[in-house]
Amino acid sequence: MNWNRAFTDRIRNGRPSYWGNWTLNPKLKTGAVGFVSPDSGEFTLVNETTPELRISHRDVPNQWSLYSNNVHRTEVNAALDGSAMDPDTGAKITAGVEVKWEFSAAGAIASEFSISLEEFVSDLTTLSKPEVFNWLAAHAKHINMGTDTQISQGFGVVTSVIYARSGLNVGSEESGSSFSLTGSAGAVQDMLGGVQGKGAFLSTRHNKNIDQHLWPHQAGARVKGVVPIAYTFASYDGNLLIPNWTGRLGAFEILFNNKLGCSYITHIQLRYDTPQGAYNEAFTLTGGLSKTVGNIPLNASNIHVEVKFQGVANSDKYSFHWPTPLGQWLTGRRELELSGVWPMKTQAREIG
């Protein structure tokens, strides 16, 4: 099971530019240089820092909770034998809490953390400076991911990291598995979403095969420092900076999708700029037909689309504009959904 891929996919439901750090790899730091596997999102460190980068941070104390649909979570009081000590007070614990996750299917995940802060590169344009690019290209060349003037997609710089005070990632390798965490009520609740940074647990229990990564990773241990759980990454296509790299990009494409039942004739005009000059294309779609325009180069800017639904007396017009698609189109693709039954209302809307 590719746990980091599943974790990343779950994260991107709400944070589309992020990669997951399922194993809580501590080498993930803002400004770190390395390469990311496009299939798994696993980061491999090449150098710990990038020259000239300024790093900022903002405190974002809150709870992080991500679950697959087939996860059931329960929390019950638990009697303890009094032999364990509360890591916060030093007192013996006789009453506590047990939090249990039950997984009805293999591949299900549960992720709960107490978020501390987000760290990020203050100015991404620094990565386009010739001296910084040349330094990165030399490191890319050393591991066969570039030349003196080109960098392959996948190699680049960690541009932001979400850090947690404590928490866990748990994945089910078999259906019907479960995992539970026991400790004092305050310490366990802090571990899974508190803002005091005092999370801890006393014991764990599971049945069947479970993939688990906890912070703190030892029973009875106090939290020391923070751990990275998700990150963003900038890469390059040759010498072209891709500020939020989420996978391999070959070219941009736009799908003009006539929704089922659309009966209007639509006139489309597409234009954009490239370093080699401007590009213009015009075409017409009859009712019910769709068209994909691909092979738009990654260095295109100011992509502009005009859509006109042909009427008898009046024609409805819609326009769309993307000044920097390389920073706006994370997947390299956009869909424009066209709908309307003549002579009624028309609609053109963007779908990411």
pLDDT in tens, 116-128: 999 999 999 999 9
Residue 197 has pLDDT above 70, yes or no: no
191 and 317 housed in the same domain: no
200 confidence band (pLDDT: 50, 70, 90): confident
- Which whole number is the average pLDDT over 176-187? 91
How do residues 208-219 score in pLDDT, each as one tens digit?
999 999 999 898
Q: Are residues 161 and 24 in the same domain?
A: yes
Confidence class for position 13, pLDDT limits 50, 70, 90: very high
Question: Do residues 48 and 164 both lie within one domain?
Answer: yes
Q: In the predicted model, what is the mean pLDDT of residues 65-92? A: 78
- Flag whether pLDDT at 89 surpasses 70: no
Cα 228–Cα 230–Cα 236 angle in degrees, nearest 5: 115
Residue 114 tokens, joined:
């107490």
The residue out of 202, 219, 242 marking a domain boundary is 242
Choose the most confident range, by mean pLDDT, from 88-92, 97-101, 197-201.
97-101
Residue 276 domain boundaries: 252-351
CA atoms within 13 A on the CB side of 135: 16
- 247 assigned to some structural domain: no
Quickly state the pLDDT bin for 332 (edges 50, 70, 90): very high
pTM for the whole thing? 0.92
- Whether residue 51 is contained in a domain is answered as yes
Return the pLDDT at 90.
Answer: 63
Confidence category of residue 91, pLDDT binned at 50, 70, 90: low
